[in-house]
């Protein structure tokens, strides 16, 4: 079965569960009418089904390759990228003044979900460009914006971000790349970066690198980092790609998956760059791009989970062992759990996007705080679901899932990295219990109160499900109050299970809303029962782990762990 974008699912969620209507009611997003939303989703689904999905296997079987210093894309990727660019999908949420559509980020999330399910390796290219667009919109000079944004938004040029170095992974402050002033307003950027997705390709006319580097005499650590625009080709007087810059692709990484997405080792050898934002304020500018990317990466996990689920479901319906294996209780358990988790993760991501849009349109501080709070949950849970559903998809296929020709294993190989890049899921969890709790938990408690209030209101119609959601939320509230009293090391030791528990409760909330919207007598009510009765109870064990502290972990020495 070929991938089909879940168009009906997005229509239902954005209408009934995570409504887009409050966003469309703002002046900023007034053009996001029902008719426009329907047209956008329908056309994006068509492009994903007809253009991108057929490239999924080609990218895996015929990886991007480095030839004579130039990266050659997988067969069909150039044509697929052209369809993305010409359709305006790169600039869907970008500033109309620079050629974007100016539509809500929520719609962009929905489109990226569909594109990720169709072909994640190709979708990575425009996703990175979208993050760069946002960083330039917020931090670049008017001159840089005027030169780069129209080209990036149109898809004529593509964008990357260059953070990681061989000795500096998540510890960005340890980077050594340097930038020397050239006396003409530009800088000579020298250093090596690794893990640069789509660091080069032949599908766009120019590749624009945002590079973190140190100015001379900069302070150590993250406080001394600046951000630079370093294009592959230096724009000429007319803004066209001109002379080649002093940078090159050293090699391509040999990866577990995502073979169609070239991951480059980049060398900058006195390459000409332009400062983006203020000196020594590069991390603030890069975090604009990274925060955009964190939600987008969570959505990547969800999109791949959808594709893996669709493939597993089709196989279970066709494969016969004492009748279709779809009729076997354990296979039914796996498929129902997959579908329930995808719905929960998708609603969390869309809820984060709606909060982001409302914050931008209204300057509402509570909406901004909610968007910030939900971002690490959306990233970590979305990618966890991507891995779990893809893994279960292999299990549904049985032995055939372990055979590459079926394509079931590719989903797991491709999605596995999403839990690692843009901040590992452990870093997301520590951000949730650390920085996101610096408001004494106000954003968390506001969200929990909303969930409990809606569960209480639902008791008259769905007493069993509503009662379970209310009770789980109360347990999470108590755990959050206890978390705020713990020492940082104990808090970090329990961060991952705490984030997972929070996501579990939010999933129950959204499933309850879906069941109520349907009337509780149809398949959404049945799926809500699967989630609330089988998956939501996991929150208790997760919160018990979250409260365990760190003493037992550090009671084991390094020698003990090696014994």
In whole angstroms, what is the distance from residue 19 CA to residue 106 CA? 10
Beta carbons within 8 Å of 134's beta carbon, 6+ residues apart: 288, 289, 292
Q: Give me the residue label for tokens 């624009």.
A: 208
Q: Give 324's strand partners.
A: 320
Beta-strand pair 263-276/226-231? antiparallel
Query: What counts of helices (H) and strands (E) characterise the chain?
Result: 20, 11
In whole angstroms, what is the distance from residue 191 CA to residue 176 CA? 7
End-to-end CA distance of the chain, in Å? 48
Identify the DSSP state of 239.
Answer: S
Catalytic residues: 422
In whole angstroms, what is the distance from residue 379 CA to residue 213 CA? 26
Burial of 179 by CB count in 10 Å (0-12 exposed, 13-18 middle, 19+ buried)?
buried
Q: Indicate the helix (H) or strand (E) that contains 553.
A: helix 551-554
In whole angstroms, what is the distance from residue 271 CA to residue 444 CA? 45
Angle value at C-alpha 312, between 309 and 314, nearest 5 degrees: 110
What DSSP line would sit under 446-501, residue for residue?
Answer: HHHHHHHHHHHHHTTT-HHHHHHHHHHHHHHHHHHHHHTTS-HHHHHHTHHHHHHH
Alpha helices in 14-104 (DSSP H): 21-24, 34-47, 56-61, 77-86
Give the CA dihedral 267, 272, 275, 276, nearest 10 degrees: -60
Which pair of structure tokens corresponds to residue 174?
Answer: 């340890």
Q: How many CB atoms lie within 10 A of CB 169?
A: 14
Q: Give 268's strand partners.
A: 191, 247
Q: Give 241's strand partners.
A: 235
**Chain-centroid distance, C-alpha 483:** 27
């Amino acid at each position: 079965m070929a991938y089909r974008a879940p168009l009906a699912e997005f229509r239902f969620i954005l209408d009934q569960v995570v409504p887009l209507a409050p966003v469309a009611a703002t002046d900023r997003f007034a053009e996001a009418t029902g008719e426009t939303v329907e047209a956008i989703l329908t056309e994006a689904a068509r492009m994903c089904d007809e253009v991108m999905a057929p490239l999924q296997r080609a990218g895996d079987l015929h990886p991007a390759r480095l030839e004579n210093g130039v990266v050659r894309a997988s067969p069909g990727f150039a044509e697929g990228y052209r369809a993305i660019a010409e359709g305006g999908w790169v600039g869907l949420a970008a500033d109309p003044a620079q050629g974007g559509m100016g539509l809500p980020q929520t719609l962009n999330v929905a489109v990226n979900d569909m594109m990720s399910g169709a072909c994640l390796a190709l979708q990575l290219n425009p996703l990175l460009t979208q993050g760069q667009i946002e960083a330039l919109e917020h931090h670049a000079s008017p001159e840089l914006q005027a030169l780069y944004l129209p080209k990036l938004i149109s898809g004529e040029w593509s964008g990357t971000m260059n953070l990681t170095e061989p000795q500096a992974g998540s510890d960005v402050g340890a980077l050594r790349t340097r930038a020397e002033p050239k006396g003409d307003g530009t800088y000579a950027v020298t250093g090596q970066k690794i893990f640069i997705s789509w660091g080069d390709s032949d599908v766009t006319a120019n590749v624009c690198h945002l590079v973190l580097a140190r100015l001379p005499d900069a302070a150590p650590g993250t406080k001394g980092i600046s951000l630079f625009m370093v294009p592959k080709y230096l724009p000429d007087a007319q803004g066209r790609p001109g002379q080649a810059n002093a940078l090159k692709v050293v090699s391509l990484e040999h990866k577990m998956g995502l073979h169609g997405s070239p991951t480059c080792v980049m060398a900058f050898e006195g390459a000409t760059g332009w400062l983006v934002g203020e000196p020594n304020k590069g991390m603030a500018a890069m975090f604009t791009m990274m925060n955009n990317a964190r939600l987008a990466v969570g959505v990547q996990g969800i999109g791949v989970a959808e594709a893996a689920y669709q493939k597993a479901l089709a196989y279970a319906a066709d494969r016969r062992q004492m009748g279709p294996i779809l009729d076997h209780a354990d296979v039914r358990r796996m498929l129902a759990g997959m579908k329930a988790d995808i719905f929960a993760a998708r609603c969390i991501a869309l809820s984060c996007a709606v909060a982001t849009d409302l914050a931008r349109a209204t300057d509402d501080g509570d909406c901004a705080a909610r968007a910030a709070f939900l971002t690490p949950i959306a990233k970590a849970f979305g990618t966890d679901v991507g891995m779990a559903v893809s893994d279960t998809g292999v299990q549904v296929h049985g032995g055939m899932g372990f055979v590459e020709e079926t394509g079931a294993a590719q989903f797991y190989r491709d999605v596995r990295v999403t839990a690692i890049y843009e901040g590992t899921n452990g870093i997301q969890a520590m951000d949730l219990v650390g920085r996101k709790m610096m408001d004494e938990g106000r954003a968390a408690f506001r969200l929990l109160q909303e969930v409990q209030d809606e569960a209480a209101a639902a008791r008259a119609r769905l007493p069993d499900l509503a009662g379970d959601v209310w009770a789980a939320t109360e347990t999470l509230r108590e755990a959050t109050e206890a978390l705020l009293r713990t020492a940082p090391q104990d808090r970090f030791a329990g961060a991952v299970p705490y984030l997972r528990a929070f996501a579990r409760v939010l999933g129950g909330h959204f499933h309850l809303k879906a069941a109520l919207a349907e009337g509780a007598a149809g398949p959404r009510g049945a799926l809500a029962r699967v989630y609330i009765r089988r998956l939501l109870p996991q929150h208790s064990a997760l919160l018990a782990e979250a409260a365990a502290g760190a003493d037992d972990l550090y009671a084991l020495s390094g020698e003990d762990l090696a014994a």
